[in-house]
Structure 1
Amino acid sequence: MRTHQLVLHWIEGQLSEGKLAVGGRLPAERTLAEQLKVSRTSVREAIRILEAMGVARAGVGSGPEAGTVVISDPTAALGSALRLHVATQHLPVSDIVETRVLLESWAAARAKADAPELEQAAALLDEMDAVGRAHKTADDFLALDVRFHLALADAAGNAVVSAMMGSLRESIQGYAARLTGHLPDWDATAARLGAEHREILAAIRNGDGERAAKLVAAHIEGYYREAGVGRTAEA
């Protein structure tokens, strides 16, 4: 085991045993190096890895913000990893879209009709309508679209599914935006997506999870099919 891995292993053990928790601080770099009998360089490397994984935030200087604090941001880490693997073309975008359909359909079927996140989702739909009336860019619409779908995921109350969905959407958000150039009429597509959003939200609020799941699947697949994902010419 490389020395920075020793540090990571120790920190994982501290978290598992409850000796470290979110909001807690790691020992000072020098203290940790002496305790584990590794170099301070190894400690710094381990902390950089933890930051990339969304498990720690390193502060500098002195005062309340100094030191390395334990955080929990799995979406950032998973999203970064997926984006890189999509860029290598090892993970086909069509497979990621299919996975997104599975997760979002599950979430829509189980979203709670009285979940407070649905109020946020409704407000985002109004913002999307305003974007359309102002003839703003597709990027503005898609940014709100991401937040709408994540709000629906959060309404299902499963933190792991929410994190995974956030990561999947983050990994293909840029790709989805680029696909708008393949659409014959973005304004028409945006209007259709907005109407579909409202149907999905209405089904969830009416307690019809089965209908909501089917609508979400058709909504996602329809956009990518219209934009050319899956066609031989786009493969």
Structure 2
Amino acid sequence: MPVERASERAHDAVLRHIEDSLRSGGLKLGDRLPGERALAEQFGISRASVRDAIRALEVMGIVRSATGSGPNAGTIVVSDPSSALGSALRLHVASQRLPVKDIVEARVMMETWSLAHAADAEWEPGQAEEARRLLEAMDDPGLPSPAFTALDAQFHVALSALAGNSVVSTMMDSLRESIRGYVDDAVSTRGQWHDIVGELRRQHWEILEAVEARDGERAARLVQEHIEWFYARTL
């Protein structure tokens, strides 16, 4: 069995190797990592340490592992940063280390910036139409509140993506998902859903109208009012 390195956690060598390979282009999205045995022999560590490294990469959203055989088996480089960031933020919000108020303020900063800049950005085909389809789905009067809030999250992420900044989009996605638990709890425990859902729909359509008109200043103002209004109503 390989001798573990005493000066560092054994699996750190694997993590650094993956990082360096991604930077250099030696590894790309869709590539498959070598098997546990090959990695263990390459780095002189145990297969258990290799498994620890793979699990860490999965948590970070860098790879996806699947057992069995076939084209989807093994450990594949996928890169899903919003999932990893969102999970970490949700846990820290749950631990009360990150106050919901601060998360909401960060959302306001991200979304107002995004909608202000979306006005002058080049949109990918179908981006604005996707936001409209989400609002049309939310107009269903029989839609349960958890389904509505899930679509709501997708709508805000879709609008933020119009600015064309992938880092902002990823952070926005993570911030929005980090307060999904708070939103769902506020909706279910405060008994105000039927009182506010109509206003949420109206605000959403007004925001989209400003976005489609390429009125960045108005869109940014409306989304800030929308976020702060909901937060104030559900305190």
Once residues 188 and 20 of structure 2 are traced to their aligned partners in structure 1, the CA distance between those partners, rounded to angstroms, is 49
SS of the aligned residue for 2:139 comes to: helix
1:186 matched to 2:196: no
Structure 1 segment 1-235 matched on structure 2, within 5 A: 1-111=8-118, 112=121, 115=124, 116-130=126-140, 133-134=141-142, 136-181=143-188, 183=190, 185-228=192-235
Instruction: Give 1:140 deviation, angstroms.
Output: 2.1
Q: Which moved more, 1:143-152 or 1:109-118?
A: 109-118
Once residues 113 and 56 of structure 1 are traced to their aligned partners in structure 2, the CA distance between those partners, rounded to angstroms, is 31
User: 2:63 touches 2:75 (CA, 8 Å); kept in 1?
Assistant: yes
Once residues 113 and 126 of structure 1 are traced to their aligned partners in structure 2, the CA distance between those partners, rounded to angstroms, is 24
SS of the aligned residue for 1:174 comes to: helix
SS of the aligned residue for 2:76 comes to: strand
- Structure 2: which amino acid aligns with 1:187? H
Instruction: Give 1:72 deviation, angstroms.
Output: 1.0
Once residues 123 and 31 of structure 2 are traced to their aligned partners in structure 1, the CA distance between those partners, rounded to angstroms, is 34
- Structure 2: which amino acid aligns with 1:221? E
SS of the aligned residue for 2:116 comes to: helix
User: 2:186 touches 2:234 (CA, 8 Å); kept in 1?
Assistant: yes
- Structure 1: which amino acid aligns with 2:9? R
User: 2:61 touches 2:84 (CA, 8 Å); kept in 1?
Assistant: yes
- Structure 2: which amino acid aligns with 1:32? L
* Structure 2 residue ranges without an equivalent (≥5): 1-7
User: 1:117 touches 1:151 (CA, 8 Å); kept in 2?
Assistant: yes
Where has structure 1 moved over 6 Å in runs of 4 or more?
A: none
Instruction: Give 1:147 deviation, angstroms.
Output: 1.2
Instruction: Give 1:66 deviation, angstroms.
Output: 2.3
Once residues 194 and 201 of structure 2 are traced to their aligned partners in structure 1, the CA distance between those partners, rounded to angstroms, is 11
CA RMSD of aligned residues (A): 1.5
Instruction: Give 1:150 deviation, angstroms.
Output: 1.1
With the length of structure 2 as denominator, give the TM-score of the two structures.
0.91
Once residues 65 and 182 of structure 1 are traced to their aligned partners in structure 2, the CA distance between those partners, rounded to angstroms, is 42
* Distance change (3 Å), C-alpha of 1:185 and 1:45: closer
Q: How big is each residue's C-alpha offset from its partner over 1:161-198, in whole Å with a ceiling of 9 and x where there is no partner? A: 11111111111111111112465642231111111111
SS of the aligned residue for 1:57 comes to: strand
Judging by fraction of residues, say which structure has more helix: 1
> Identity percentage over the alignment?
52
Once residues 48 and 81 of structure 1 are traced to their aligned partners in structure 2, the CA distance between those partners, rounded to angstroms, is 15
Instruction: Give 1:40 deviation, angstroms.
Output: 0.9
